[in-house]
Structures are given as C-alpha cells and as structure tokens.
Amino acid sequence: MPDPWADTWVEPLGLLHGRAAAAAIAADLALPLAGGPAAFTMVRLIGRAPGGAATPDAPVPLAEVPEPWQPAVLALGAAPPPFAGLPGGRPLVMGILNVTPDSFSDGGRHADHAAAVAAGHAMLEAGADLLDIGGESTRPGAAPVPPEEECRRVLPAIRELAKAATISVDTRNAATMLAALEAGAEIVNDITALRHDPAAARVLARSEASVILMHMLGDDPRTMQRDPRYADVALEVAQFLAGRVAWAERQGIPRARLAVDPGIGFGKRLPHNLALIERLPILAALGCPVVFGASRKRFIGELSGVEAAADRVAGSVAAALAGADRGAAILRVHDVAETVQALAIRAAVLAGEAAGGAEAE
C-alpha cells in the first residue's frame, strides 16, 4: 500500500537557543528540536497532506499548523534513541583516525599501527567520545582499496583502541565490517549508506552494531564530484536518507541502531554544502541522530582562502559549532582538542543564558 505521506516533509525553522529557547517552550511558542536544547518556532510544510490541499511554502508558526500535519510536527520534538550506548544531551565528538597513506588531510601520518594507536589515545585524552577508524581514502578521485588491505590497515588499531573507547569503522565493504566488529568495533560508518556491497546489510542485520548511513551522490568517490546538481539539495538529501533508513529497517536493522549523515563534500559544491549546514534541522524528521562531518573539507578552504587542509582548523571548528547549533548529535572531526574546547564554551554560554532566564523569572 502506498504511503500517503511519502511526498511530504516538515522542516523546522526559527531556531532558538539558551534563554530564548527555554522561554519560548514554556510559553508554548516552540518545541525542542529532537529533544533539545535548541527549539524551533516555525515549520515549512512541504508537499500535500493526505486528503488536504497543497501547503504554502512560507514558514508557518506552530500555532497555525493545520491539524493533519500536527503529529508530524510534534514528532520533531522527540529525542532519538541513544546511539550505540553513547551519552545524550550534548553534541558528541568523534575523532577521525585515518590509517591510510593517501587521505586528503592526514594521509600517511597514522599508517604505522603504533602511530595510529598513539593518535587514537591522544584524541581520547583530548576529549573524544568515540573514534572513527578508516583504512580507505574516500577523497574525490580516490582509488578503491581491497577489503584485505583495508583490514590489514585498520584491525590492529581497532583491537587495541576498542579496549578504551567506542570504535566506529569507516568502510563500505562487508568483509571489513564483519572483521572490524569481531575485533571490537561497535559502529559501522558507510559513506554509501549500504549501497556499495550487497552483503553489508546482511552482516549488520545479524550483528548488534549501530550504523551511520551517509548521503553521497552516486556510490563511487572517484566520480561523485563530477558536476553535482540538485534542485533542492537539503530536501533531496533528506529524502534519500529517509529511503535508506526505511530500506535498512526492511533488511532487519532497526531504526534505533541508525544514525544519518548528510555527507558534506560528498558530491556537493560550495553552495550545496552551505545549504545543507543551514538547513540541517530538516533531518530531524527522520528520528535518527545526525552525524555531521565538515572537518578540514575543501569548502572551508574555498571560503577562507586556506589551501592546506591541515591549516583549516579554525574554519573546521566554526563549521562544527554551526552543526551543533542546528541539531547535530555527533561531530566528526580531525581536531578534537580544539572542538572540545569550543563546545565547552558554547555549553557554558547556553547554560548561563538559561540560568539567567530562570533568575529573571
């Protein structure tokens, strides 16, 4: 039976934080975004509700949402289930550990197993909540790596670092997924959203692993940047991820084990990336935690004029904070210490605002 809501979407707008968010929620003028602490005051209703007329494209205050749409709007306020047993209530920091010779930012730095383990421990000491370990570069134009070589690169680091932290393996190959899970990884981060390897969903359905589904234009990093085009990039990415979440559920991977990633830089040009960041709350309708990875990417260099990826730290932290303000649950970053420090200041400012609002009342 066709889904009568298949061509509809509810996009949260009018975000508030701190004192303003708390006051608006208390006055029934806003709802928490995915459980908070941010709140939204308006929505854009996209499509046609079942049995109803087409909706206006203009923002609608929550008090004026038509009755058929109200359940979908209320659902935006619910917090997703905890992901991979990790704590909630604040943006988590995922440290990127590339055990590769050719990644765009840190290729070769951690190719030695001892260096990779030391780098992982350094990230954890700097405040990382989890680590994402990858053995295949997925930069634009990168050549594929056979699973056997990928496993040779990542498994020693996973075995050692899984003793100290929650580990995600960044792979699109089912054989690597299985070996990594057996070595202690608890999360699989697949840039193709389980489209690359037909055996991947079967491996994950039989496990208890959590899964990150990412949007990429096509399923090959070698071709993803060849003239990417979108009519509405934020809506198209959201609809793609909705389809992949539904597909994963049909394969036996429950939504409670899923997170989604809009894939900043994966088949997107500068305007697409900026639109995705600005409209990140549109993904709240999926009911899954949002992973956000903009660290050191090309668009930061384009905006800042910084050519070397390793020198894009300040821009990367700014992008991470923008993601956190728009509902990202997990920030995937190279620069852990700097991101943790920035998030601590952000949290203190927002807590101070909320406390100030309570005192004023």
Please give the C-alpha separations between residue 332 and each of 45, 127, 360, in angstroms, as whole numbers. 30, 13, 37
Q: At 157, which helix (H) or strand (E)?
A: helix 147-161
Report, as residue numbers or ranges, the catalytic residues: 297, 332
Please give the C-alpha separations between residue 164 and each of 32, 88, 184, 213, in angstroms, as whole numbers. 33, 19, 10, 25
Distance CA 19, CA 272 (A): 31
Where would I find the beta strands (DSSP E) of the chain?
Answer: 9-16, 31-32, 39-46, 60-61, 92-98, 130-134, 166-170, 187-190, 210-214, 258-261, 291-292, 330-333
Structure tokens that stand for 119 in this block? 């780098």
Distance CA 80, CA 259 (A): 9
Peptide bond into 37 cis (omega under 30): yes
Distance CA 103, CA 158 (A): 18
For residue 184, give the amino acid letter.
G
Distance CA 240, CA 106 (A): 30
Distance CA 72, CA 10 (A): 7
Q: Which residues of 176-188 are buried (b: 16+ CB within 10 A; e: fewer)?
A: bbbbbbebbbbbb
Identify which of 164, 202, 215 has the alpha carbon closest to the alpha carbon of residue 186.
Answer: 164
What is the end-to-end Cα distance of the chain in Å, rounded?
A: 52
Structure tokens that stand for 28 in this block? 């029934």
